[in-house]
Structure 1
Protein backbone atom coordinates (compact mmCIF):
# COMPACT_ATOMS: atom_id res chain seq x y z
CA UNK A 1 0.00 0.00 0.00
CA UNK A 2 1.11 3.54 -0.64
CA UNK A 3 3.85 4.75 1.69
CA UNK A 4 4.35 1.41 3.46
CA UNK A 5 5.72 -2.05 2.88
CA UNK A 6 2.48 -3.67 4.00
CA UNK A 7 1.17 -6.60 2.03
CA UNK A 8 -2.18 -5.76 0.41
CA UNK A 9 -5.09 -7.16 2.42
CA UNK A 10 -8.68 -8.01 1.64
CA UNK A 11 -11.53 -9.24 3.81
CA UNK A 12 -13.37 -12.30 2.49
CA UNK A 13 -16.74 -13.22 3.94
CA UNK A 14 -18.47 -16.54 3.29
CA UNK A 15 -22.13 -16.57 4.34
CA UNK A 16 -24.67 -19.39 4.32
CA UNK A 17 -26.06 -19.01 0.81
CA UNK A 18 -25.53 -21.76 -1.72
CA UNK A 19 -22.33 -21.30 -3.71
CA UNK A 20 -19.66 -21.75 -1.04
CA UNK A 21 -17.24 -22.62 -3.83
CA UNK A 22 -17.12 -18.93 -4.81
CA UNK A 23 -15.59 -17.95 -1.48
CA UNK A 24 -13.19 -20.88 -1.46
CA UNK A 25 -11.99 -20.14 -4.98
CA UNK A 26 -11.58 -16.47 -4.12
CA UNK A 27 -9.24 -17.40 -1.28
CA UNK A 28 -7.17 -19.56 -3.62
CA UNK A 29 -6.90 -16.89 -6.31
CA UNK A 30 -6.08 -14.17 -3.78
CA UNK A 31 -3.29 -16.29 -2.32
CA UNK A 32 -1.89 -16.78 -5.82
CA UNK A 33 -2.02 -13.00 -6.32
CA UNK A 34 -0.04 -12.37 -3.13
CA UNK A 35 -2.96 -10.80 -1.26
CA UNK A 36 -3.33 -11.28 2.50
CA UNK A 37 -6.82 -12.63 3.21
CA UNK A 38 -8.86 -12.05 6.36
CA UNK A 39 -11.64 -14.62 6.44
CA UNK A 40 -15.01 -14.51 8.20
CA UNK A 41 -17.36 -17.48 7.98
CA UNK A 42 -20.88 -17.55 9.38
CA UNK A 43 -22.17 -20.61 11.24
CA UNK A 44 -24.61 -21.44 8.46
CA UNK A 45 -21.78 -21.13 5.93
CA UNK A 46 -19.92 -23.95 7.66
CA UNK A 47 -22.97 -26.15 7.05
CA UNK A 48 -23.03 -25.15 3.38
CA UNK A 49 -19.29 -25.76 3.01
CA UNK A 50 -19.74 -29.25 4.41
CA UNK A 51 -22.82 -30.02 2.29
CA UNK A 52 -21.59 -28.63 -1.02
CA UNK A 53 -17.84 -29.20 -0.84
CA UNK A 54 -17.22 -31.62 2.02
CA UNK A 55 -14.85 -28.99 3.43
CA UNK A 56 -14.12 -28.85 7.17
CA UNK A 57 -13.49 -25.60 9.06
CA UNK A 58 -9.84 -26.61 9.52
CA UNK A 59 -9.36 -27.28 5.81
CA UNK A 60 -10.95 -23.95 4.94
CA UNK A 61 -8.81 -22.09 7.48
CA UNK A 62 -5.66 -23.30 5.74
CA UNK A 63 -6.70 -21.40 2.63
CA UNK A 64 -6.75 -18.02 4.44
CA UNK A 65 -3.97 -15.86 5.85
CA UNK A 66 -6.00 -14.96 8.94
CA UNK A 67 -9.30 -16.39 10.18
CA UNK A 68 -11.59 -14.31 12.40
CA UNK A 69 -14.42 -15.63 14.53
CA UNK A 70 -17.71 -14.20 13.30
CA UNK A 71 -18.57 -13.24 16.89
CA UNK A 72 -15.31 -11.32 17.45
CA UNK A 73 -16.46 -7.74 16.89
CA UNK A 74 -13.17 -6.54 18.39
CA UNK A 75 -11.03 -8.06 15.61
CA UNK A 76 -8.58 -5.94 13.62
CA UNK A 77 -10.93 -5.73 10.64
CA UNK A 78 -13.63 -4.11 12.79
CA UNK A 79 -11.66 -0.84 12.70
CA UNK A 80 -11.19 1.53 9.80
CA UNK A 81 -7.61 2.14 10.91
CA UNK A 82 -6.79 -1.40 9.77
CA UNK A 83 -6.24 -0.77 6.09
CA UNK A 84 -7.58 -3.15 3.47
CA UNK A 85 -8.47 -3.10 -0.20
CA UNK A 86 -12.05 -3.75 0.82
CA UNK A 87 -14.29 -6.75 1.32
CA UNK A 88 -15.73 -9.51 -0.85
CA UNK A 89 -18.69 -11.54 0.42
CA UNK A 90 -18.90 -14.70 -1.66
CA UNK A 91 -21.53 -15.97 -1.57
CA UNK A 92 -23.67 -13.34 0.11
CA UNK A 93 -26.94 -14.50 1.65
CA UNK A 94 -30.02 -12.32 1.75
CA UNK A 95 -29.73 -12.18 5.55
CA UNK A 96 -26.15 -10.91 5.40
CA UNK A 97 -27.04 -8.42 2.68
CA UNK A 98 -29.98 -7.12 4.72
CA UNK A 99 -27.91 -6.73 7.91
CA UNK A 100 -25.29 -4.72 6.05
CA UNK A 101 -27.92 -2.51 4.42
CA UNK A 102 -29.59 -1.67 7.73
CA UNK A 103 -26.37 -1.00 9.62
CA UNK A 104 -26.84 -3.94 11.98
CA UNK A 105 -23.34 -4.72 13.24
CA UNK A 106 -23.99 -7.49 15.73
CA UNK A 107 -21.52 -9.82 14.00
CA UNK A 108 -18.05 -9.32 12.60
CA UNK A 109 -19.38 -9.99 9.09
CA UNK A 110 -21.72 -7.01 9.12
CA UNK A 111 -19.32 -4.86 11.17
CA UNK A 112 -16.44 -5.41 8.75
CA UNK A 113 -18.72 -4.59 5.81
CA UNK A 114 -19.93 -1.44 7.58
CA UNK A 115 -16.32 -0.37 8.14
CA UNK A 116 -15.53 -0.85 4.47
CA UNK A 117 -18.50 1.33 3.50
CA UNK A 118 -17.74 4.11 5.97
CA UNK A 119 -14.10 4.20 4.85
CA UNK A 120 -15.25 4.40 1.21
CA UNK A 121 -13.50 1.17 0.31
CA UNK A 122 -14.77 -1.42 -2.15
CA UNK A 123 -17.53 -3.77 -0.95
CA UNK A 124 -18.57 -6.47 -3.41
CA UNK A 125 -21.52 -8.72 -2.57
CA UNK A 126 -21.97 -11.87 -4.66
CA UNK A 127 -25.64 -12.23 -3.79
CA UNK A 128 -26.96 -15.76 -4.35
CA UNK A 129 -30.76 -15.77 -4.44
CA UNK A 130 -33.45 -16.10 -7.08
CA UNK A 131 -36.16 -15.12 -7.76
CA UNK A 132 -35.99 -11.75 -6.04
CA UNK A 133 -38.96 -9.97 -4.47
CA UNK A 134 -39.33 -6.22 -4.20
CA UNK A 135 -37.79 -6.10 -0.72
CA UNK A 136 -34.62 -7.76 -2.00
CA UNK A 137 -34.41 -5.32 -4.90
CA UNK A 138 -34.92 -2.31 -2.65
CA UNK A 139 -32.20 -3.55 -0.32
CA UNK A 140 -29.83 -3.91 -3.28
CA UNK A 141 -30.71 -0.38 -4.38
CA UNK A 142 -30.00 0.97 -0.90
CA UNK A 143 -26.62 -0.78 -0.77
CA UNK A 144 -25.69 0.50 -4.21
CA UNK A 145 -26.54 4.03 -3.08
CA UNK A 146 -24.27 3.45 -0.06
CA UNK A 147 -21.38 2.52 -2.33
CA UNK A 148 -21.51 -1.27 -2.44
CA UNK A 149 -21.41 -3.30 -5.64
CA UNK A 150 -24.01 -6.02 -6.05
CA UNK A 151 -22.53 -8.75 -8.23
CA UNK A 152 -24.61 -11.91 -8.57
CA UNK A 153 -22.40 -14.74 -9.89
CA UNK A 154 -24.01 -14.96 -13.33
CA UNK A 155 -22.33 -17.35 -15.80
CA UNK A 156 -20.72 -15.75 -18.86
CA UNK A 157 -21.61 -18.11 -21.69
CA UNK A 158 -19.74 -16.03 -24.28
CA UNK A 159 -16.58 -17.51 -22.75
CA UNK A 160 -17.82 -20.98 -23.76
CA UNK A 161 -17.16 -22.60 -20.36
CA UNK A 162 -16.45 -26.30 -20.45
CA UNK A 163 -17.11 -27.01 -16.79
CA UNK A 164 -18.69 -25.68 -13.61
CA UNK A 165 -15.17 -24.87 -12.39
CA UNK A 166 -14.62 -22.58 -15.36
CA UNK A 167 -17.90 -20.77 -14.68
CA UNK A 168 -16.90 -20.32 -11.03
CA UNK A 169 -13.47 -19.03 -12.02
CA UNK A 170 -14.97 -16.51 -14.41
CA UNK A 171 -17.33 -15.09 -11.79
CA UNK A 172 -14.67 -14.92 -9.09
CA UNK A 173 -12.11 -13.49 -11.50
CA UNK A 174 -14.52 -10.72 -12.47
CA UNK A 175 -15.18 -9.99 -8.80
CA UNK A 176 -11.44 -9.62 -8.19
CA UNK A 177 -11.27 -7.27 -11.19
CA UNK A 178 -13.43 -4.88 -9.18
CA UNK A 179 -10.56 -4.60 -6.67
CA UNK A 180 -7.99 -4.14 -9.48
CA UNK A 181 -6.41 -7.48 -8.54
CA UNK A 182 -4.63 -9.08 -11.48
CA UNK A 183 -5.78 -12.62 -12.21
CA UNK A 184 -6.04 -15.04 -15.10
CA UNK A 185 -9.14 -16.79 -13.80
CA UNK A 186 -11.55 -15.50 -16.40
CA UNK A 187 -11.35 -15.62 -20.17
CA UNK A 188 -11.19 -12.03 -21.42
CA UNK A 189 -13.41 -10.91 -24.25
CA UNK A 190 -11.23 -10.25 -27.28
CA UNK A 191 -14.02 -9.37 -29.66
CA UNK A 192 -16.05 -11.53 -31.99
CA UNK A 193 -14.11 -13.07 -34.89
CA UNK A 194 -14.53 -11.08 -38.11
CA UNK A 195 -16.10 -14.05 -39.89
CA UNK A 196 -18.89 -14.27 -37.32
CA UNK A 197 -19.51 -10.54 -37.44
CA UNK A 198 -19.83 -10.76 -41.24
CA UNK A 199 -22.42 -13.53 -40.93
CA UNK A 200 -24.52 -11.58 -38.43
Structure 2
Protein backbone atom coordinates (compact mmCIF):
# COMPACT_ATOMS: atom_id res chain seq x y z
CA UNK A 1 0.00 0.00 0.00
CA UNK A 2 1.29 3.45 -0.94
CA UNK A 3 2.42 5.57 2.01
CA UNK A 4 0.30 8.67 2.64
CA UNK A 5 1.27 12.01 4.21
CA UNK A 6 -0.64 15.17 5.06
CA UNK A 7 0.92 18.40 3.78
CA UNK A 8 -0.49 21.48 5.46
CA UNK A 9 0.16 24.99 4.19
CA UNK A 10 -0.53 28.04 6.32
CA UNK A 11 -0.61 31.62 5.08
CA UNK A 12 2.90 32.42 6.34
CA UNK A 13 5.57 33.48 3.90
CA UNK A 14 7.58 30.57 2.50
CA UNK A 15 5.29 28.96 -0.07
CA UNK A 16 8.34 27.60 -1.93
CA UNK A 17 8.90 25.29 1.04
CA UNK A 18 5.47 23.72 0.51
CA UNK A 19 6.06 23.25 -3.21
CA UNK A 20 9.46 21.64 -2.62
CA UNK A 21 8.01 19.32 0.04
CA UNK A 22 5.30 18.31 -2.41
CA UNK A 23 7.87 17.68 -5.15
CA UNK A 24 10.02 15.51 -2.85
CA UNK A 25 7.01 13.50 -1.69
CA UNK A 26 5.83 12.98 -5.27
CA UNK A 27 9.33 11.95 -6.36
CA UNK A 28 9.47 9.15 -3.75
CA UNK A 29 5.94 7.98 -4.55
CA UNK A 30 4.12 9.12 -1.42
CA UNK A 31 0.43 10.01 -1.68
CA UNK A 32 -0.29 13.50 -0.34
CA UNK A 33 -3.43 14.89 1.27
CA UNK A 34 -3.17 18.67 0.88
CA UNK A 35 -4.73 20.93 3.53
CA UNK A 36 -4.46 24.70 3.31
CA UNK A 37 -5.58 27.60 5.43
CA UNK A 38 -7.68 30.46 4.13
CA UNK A 39 -4.62 32.62 3.45
CA UNK A 40 -2.36 29.88 2.04
CA UNK A 41 -3.69 30.06 -1.52
CA UNK A 42 -3.24 33.83 -1.56
CA UNK A 43 0.36 33.52 -0.29
CA UNK A 44 1.15 30.76 -2.80
CA UNK A 45 -0.16 32.85 -5.70
CA UNK A 46 1.70 35.92 -4.45
CA UNK A 47 5.06 34.22 -3.85
CA UNK A 48 5.06 31.46 -6.46
CA UNK A 49 2.57 32.57 -9.09
CA UNK A 50 -0.52 30.75 -10.37
CA UNK A 51 1.46 28.21 -12.43
CA UNK A 52 3.41 26.93 -9.42
CA UNK A 53 0.28 26.96 -7.26
CA UNK A 54 -1.43 24.83 -9.91
CA UNK A 55 1.55 22.41 -9.87
CA UNK A 56 1.25 22.11 -6.10
CA UNK A 57 -2.41 21.17 -6.41
CA UNK A 58 -1.80 18.87 -9.39
CA UNK A 59 0.77 16.85 -7.40
CA UNK A 60 -1.64 16.34 -4.49
CA UNK A 61 -3.61 13.10 -4.43
CA UNK A 62 -6.41 14.67 -2.40
CA UNK A 63 -7.12 18.36 -1.85
CA UNK A 64 -9.18 19.05 1.25
CA UNK A 65 -11.33 22.10 1.85
CA UNK A 66 -9.64 23.74 4.84
CA UNK A 67 -13.02 24.40 6.45
CA UNK A 68 -14.26 20.79 6.20
CA UNK A 69 -13.86 19.51 9.74
CA UNK A 70 -15.37 16.19 8.61
CA UNK A 71 -12.52 15.44 6.16
CA UNK A 72 -10.71 12.11 6.44
CA UNK A 73 -7.52 13.73 7.81
CA UNK A 74 -9.52 15.00 10.82
CA UNK A 75 -9.70 11.42 12.14
CA UNK A 76 -7.04 9.27 13.74
CA UNK A 77 -8.48 6.25 11.95
CA UNK A 78 -7.32 7.65 8.60
CA UNK A 79 -3.93 5.98 8.02
CA UNK A 80 -1.13 8.43 7.31
CA UNK A 81 2.61 8.28 8.02
CA UNK A 82 2.70 11.81 9.42
CA UNK A 83 2.27 15.48 8.56
CA UNK A 84 4.37 18.44 7.51
CA UNK A 85 3.16 22.03 7.87
CA UNK A 86 5.22 24.12 5.47
CA UNK A 87 5.30 26.97 6.17
CA UNK A 88 3.76 27.06 9.64
CA UNK A 89 2.51 30.45 10.78
CA UNK A 90 2.73 31.47 14.41
CA UNK A 91 -1.10 31.46 14.48
CA UNK A 92 -1.19 27.82 13.36
CA UNK A 93 1.63 26.95 15.78
CA UNK A 94 -0.29 28.55 18.67
CA UNK A 95 -3.49 26.70 17.77
CA UNK A 96 -1.63 23.37 17.54
CA UNK A 97 0.22 23.98 20.82
CA UNK A 98 -3.02 24.75 22.61
CA UNK A 99 -5.10 21.97 21.05
CA UNK A 100 -7.60 24.36 19.47
CA UNK A 101 -8.31 22.14 16.43
CA UNK A 102 -10.28 25.08 14.98
CA UNK A 103 -9.33 24.58 11.32
CA UNK A 104 -8.77 21.42 9.32
CA UNK A 105 -5.03 22.12 9.31
CA UNK A 106 -4.79 22.44 13.09
CA UNK A 107 -7.14 19.48 13.61
CA UNK A 108 -5.06 17.27 11.29
CA UNK A 109 -1.92 18.34 13.16
CA UNK A 110 -3.58 17.56 16.49
CA UNK A 111 -4.51 14.12 15.18
CA UNK A 112 -0.84 13.42 14.40
CA UNK A 113 0.11 14.31 17.97
CA UNK A 114 -2.64 12.25 19.59
CA UNK A 115 -1.84 9.25 17.38
CA UNK A 116 1.90 9.65 18.11
CA UNK A 117 2.74 10.15 14.43
CA UNK A 118 5.45 12.51 13.21
CA UNK A 119 4.40 16.16 12.93
CA UNK A 120 6.98 18.51 11.39
CA UNK A 121 6.37 22.26 11.58
CA UNK A 122 8.47 24.60 9.45
CA UNK A 123 7.84 27.54 11.75
CA UNK A 124 8.20 30.83 9.90
CA UNK A 125 8.82 33.96 11.95
CA UNK A 126 11.70 36.17 13.03
CA UNK A 127 12.43 37.44 15.54
CA UNK A 128 10.62 35.19 17.96
CA UNK A 129 8.60 36.33 20.95
CA UNK A 130 8.45 34.46 24.22
CA UNK A 131 4.94 33.29 23.23
CA UNK A 132 6.36 31.76 20.02
CA UNK A 133 9.13 30.01 21.93
CA UNK A 134 6.72 28.66 24.53
CA UNK A 135 4.39 27.35 21.82
CA UNK A 136 7.37 25.66 20.14
CA UNK A 137 8.35 24.09 23.46
CA UNK A 138 4.79 22.89 24.04
CA UNK A 139 4.56 21.25 20.60
CA UNK A 140 7.99 19.65 21.11
CA UNK A 141 6.93 18.29 24.52
CA UNK A 142 3.88 16.73 22.81
CA UNK A 143 6.13 14.96 20.28
CA UNK A 144 6.11 17.43 17.39
CA UNK A 145 9.23 18.51 15.55
CA UNK A 146 9.95 22.22 15.09
CA UNK A 147 12.10 22.66 11.98
CA UNK A 148 12.73 26.35 11.34
CA UNK A 149 13.62 26.86 7.67
CA UNK A 150 17.26 27.68 8.34
CA UNK A 151 19.70 27.28 5.42
CA UNK A 152 22.51 24.73 5.61
CA UNK A 153 25.19 27.25 4.68
CA UNK A 154 27.92 24.59 4.90
CA UNK A 155 26.51 23.14 1.67
CA UNK A 156 27.29 26.45 -0.07
CA UNK A 157 23.88 26.86 -1.74
CA UNK A 158 24.00 28.92 -4.92
CA UNK A 159 20.34 29.99 -5.00
CA UNK A 160 17.22 30.43 -2.93
CA UNK A 161 15.84 27.37 -4.75
CA UNK A 162 18.79 25.27 -3.52
CA UNK A 163 18.08 26.45 0.03
CA UNK A 164 14.34 25.66 -0.06
CA UNK A 165 14.94 22.31 -1.74
CA UNK A 166 17.37 21.28 1.03
CA UNK A 167 15.09 22.47 3.84
CA UNK A 168 12.11 20.64 2.32
CA UNK A 169 14.20 17.47 1.97
CA UNK A 170 15.07 17.70 5.69
CA UNK A 171 11.37 18.05 6.52
CA UNK A 172 10.48 14.97 4.46
CA UNK A 173 13.41 13.09 6.03
CA UNK A 174 11.95 13.78 9.49
CA UNK A 175 9.01 11.54 8.54
CA UNK A 176 11.45 8.63 8.07
CA UNK A 177 9.68 7.34 4.96
CA UNK A 178 12.80 6.04 3.23
CA UNK A 179 16.50 6.80 2.90
CA UNK A 180 17.40 10.44 3.56
CA UNK A 181 16.82 12.90 0.72
CA UNK A 182 18.70 15.90 2.11
CA UNK A 183 22.35 16.45 1.32
CA UNK A 184 24.43 15.50 4.36
CA UNK A 185 27.44 17.13 5.96
CA UNK A 186 30.54 15.41 4.58
CA UNK A 187 32.98 16.45 7.30
TM-score, normalising length from structure 2? 0.95
Match of 2:155 among 145, 152, 159: 159
> Can you list the C-alpha shifts for 1:74-101, whole angstroms capped at 9, x where unaligned?
1111111111111100000000011111
Residue of structure 1 in register with 2:8 after alignment: 13
- The whole-number CA distance in structure 2 between the counterparts of 1:142 and 1:184 is 27
- The whole-number CA distance in structure 1 between the counterparts of 2:31 and 2:63 is 11
Residue of structure 1 in register with 2:92 after alignment: 96
- The whole-number CA distance in structure 1 between the counterparts of 2:55 and 2:121 is 24
- The whole-number CA distance in structure 1 between the counterparts of 2:55 and 2:156 is 31
Alpha-carbon shift at residue 42 of structure 1 (Å): 1.1
Alpha-carbon shift at residue 181 of structure 1 (Å): 3.0
Higher relative contact order (CA 8 A, sep 6+): 2
Contact 2:37 2:103 in 1 (8 A): no
- The whole-number CA distance in structure 1 between the counterparts of 2:92 and 2:162 is 26
SS of the residue corresponding to residue 120 of structure 1 reads coil
> Can you list the C-alpha shifts for 1:120-150, whole angstroms capped at 9, x where unaligned?
0000000000000111111111111111110
Residue of structure 1 in register with 2:146 after alignment: 150
SS of the residue corresponding to residue 144 of structure 1 reads helix
- The whole-number CA distance in structure 2 between the counterparts of 1:183 and 1:39 is 23
Where in structure 1 are there 5+ consecutive unaligned residues? 1-5, 192-200
Contact 2:22 2:56 in 1 (8 A): no
Larger radius of gyration: 1
- The whole-number CA distance in structure 2 between the counterparts of 1:112 and 1:153 is 21
| CA RMSD, Structure 1 to Structure 2 (Å) | 1.4
Alpha-carbon shift at residue 186 of structure 1 (Å): 2.9
Alpha-carbon shift at residue 184 of structure 1 (Å): 6.9
Number of residue equivalences = 186
TM-score, normalising length from structure 1? 0.89
Structure 1 segments, 4+ long, off by >6 Å, are none
